């Protein structure tokens, strides 16, 4: 008996949905926009995190050694530094490497190239590039290095210059994160409320139908289920609509992040998680549709 009821109420819900006309269109656009807002916020926060991460990766502290320092001494230094728990990596750049990199970077600048040839000797020093686990650790590392056993071998640490940048970066990061989270929560809440009220209004519009069904002797499942199924159908279709719009949106937004993150990365990330994103949309859409229908119809059931 229960299966028969389920089949009948689903057919009823689906048929009613098809015959709703513009009302269906209105509700679906509302739910779709809601999902779009929530998705965009999620995508933006993921993008922001990507940007943050990649900028973090570019920040480092370089320790330059006096030109007469032995390579083995530098390697000892590197080994010591790698022991620090705040240090993620420490790369050794020899004098020659430094020169090669410098030449490569300035290959199209004839003045600089000529100057190097004129000097003859390698004017650059060997260095160790240290990357910290998180940007707020650079201070600790710099201080530790300055007070370490190797401090006499060090010619300079270019932390002081970067320090301001790094501090500013940390501030921006944490502010962005906090504000972003607050906004995301706020907008998601607003979006959910809007969807809930939209569905409540559609059920209000059908309140006479509900009354008629009660008069004919329908029990609550027979009255409720068609509306629940309608809610689910709205949710599913909205999820599909949002996915269709998300594609061009990502394509459009990606280049603007190009400065900090590669375009390909963003798109690849998106495509990779495609099914996951669709699943989240689907579940959210269906949950929104169902719960809203359930709550909205209660007033008319008198039971």
Q: What are the residues binding another protein (CB under 8 A)?
A: 1, 4-5, 8, 15-16, 19-20, 208-209, 211-220, 222, 302-303
Name the minimum Å distance from CB 243 to another protein: 29
Considering the complex, state which of residue 131 and residue 206 has its C-beta at the smaller distance from another protein: 206
Name the minimum Å distance from CB 201 to another protein: 17
- Cβ-in-10-Å burial (0-12, 13-18, 19+) of 96 comes to exposed
Considering the complex, state which of residue 13 and residue 235 has its C-beta at the smaller distance from another protein: 13
- Helix 220-253, helix 2-18: angle, nearest 10: 50
Which residues, in sequence order, are CB contacts of 291 under 8 Å at separation 6+?
196
Name the minimum Å distance from CB 285 to another protein: 23
Buried (b) or exposed (e) across 138-174, using 16+ Cβ within 10 A? bbebbeebeebebeebbeebebeebeeebeebbeebe
Considering the complex, state which of residue 2 and residue 111 has its C-beta at the smaller distance from another protein: 2
Considering the complex, state which of residue 244 and residue 301 has its C-beta at the smaller distance from another protein: 301
Considering the complex, state which of residue 58 and residue 302 has its C-beta at the smaller distance from another protein: 302
Residue with tokens 């807002």: 37
Residue with tokens 């290959």: 107
Name the minimum Å distance from CB 199 to another protein: 17
Task: Locate the DSSP E strands across the chain.
Answer: 61-65, 87-93, 127-132, 154-157
Contact 60, 133 (CB under 8 A): no
Name the minimum Å distance from CB 12 to another protein: 8
Structure tokens belonging to residue 57: 């990766």
Considering the complex, state which of residue 4 and residue 119 has its C-beta at the smaller distance from another protein: 4
Name the minimum Å distance from CB 303 to another protein: 4
Name the minimum Å distance from CB 27 to another protein: 15
Q: Which of 204, 277, 205, 219 is nearest to 40 (CA)?
A: 277
Considering the complex, state which of residue 12 and residue 97 has its C-beta at the smaller distance from another protein: 12
Q: What phi and psi, each to the nearest 5 degrees, are found at residue 109?
A: -115, 95
Name the minimum Å distance from CB 217 to another protein: 4
Considering the complex, state which of residue 119 and residue 215 has its C-beta at the smaller distance from another protein: 215
46-53, Cβ contacts within 8 angstroms, sequence gap of 24 or more:
46/269, 47/253, 47/257, 47/261, 47/266, 48/176, 48/177, 48/180, 50/257, 50/260, 50/261, 50/265, 50/266, 50/269, 51/257, 51/260, 51/261, 52/173, 52/176, 52/177
């Amino acid at each position: 008996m229960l299966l028969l009821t389920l089949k009948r109420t689903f057919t009823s819900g689906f048929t009613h949905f098809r015959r709703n006309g513009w009302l269906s269109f209105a509700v679906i656009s509302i739910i779709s926009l809601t999902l779009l807002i929530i998705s965009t916020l999620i995508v933006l926060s993921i993008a922001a995190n990507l940007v943050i991460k990649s900028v973090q990766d570019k920040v480092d502290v370089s320790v330059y050694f006096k030109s007469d320092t032995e390579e083995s001494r530098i390697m000892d230094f590197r080994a010591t530094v790698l022991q620090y728990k705040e240090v993620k990596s420490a790369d050794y750049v020899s004098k020659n490497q430094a020169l090669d990199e410098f030449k490569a970077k300035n290959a199209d600048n004839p003045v600089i190239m000529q100057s190097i040839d004129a000097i003859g000797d390698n004017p650059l020093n060997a260095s160790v590039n240290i990357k910290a686990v998180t940007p707020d650790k650079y201070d600790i590392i710099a201080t530790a290095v300055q007070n370490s056993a190797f401090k006499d071998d060090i010619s300079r640490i270019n932390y002081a210059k970067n320090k301001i940048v790094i501090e500013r970066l940390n501030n921006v990061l944490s502010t962005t994160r906090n504000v972003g989270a607050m906004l995301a929560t706020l907008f998601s809440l607003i979006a959910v409320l809007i969807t809930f009220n939209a569905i409540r209004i559609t059920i209000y519009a059908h309140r006479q139908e509900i009354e008629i069904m009660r008069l004919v002797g329908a029990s609550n499942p027979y009255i409720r289920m068609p509306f629940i199924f309608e809610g689910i159908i709205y949710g599913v279709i909205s999820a599909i609509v949002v996915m269709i719009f998300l594609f061009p949106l990502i394509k459009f937004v990606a280049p603007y992040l190009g400065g900090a993150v590669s375009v390909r990365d963003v798109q690849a990330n998106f495509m990779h998680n495609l099914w996951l994103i669709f699943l989240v949309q689907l579940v959210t859409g269906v949950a929104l549709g169902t719960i809203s229908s359930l709550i909205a119809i209660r007033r008319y059931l008198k039971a």
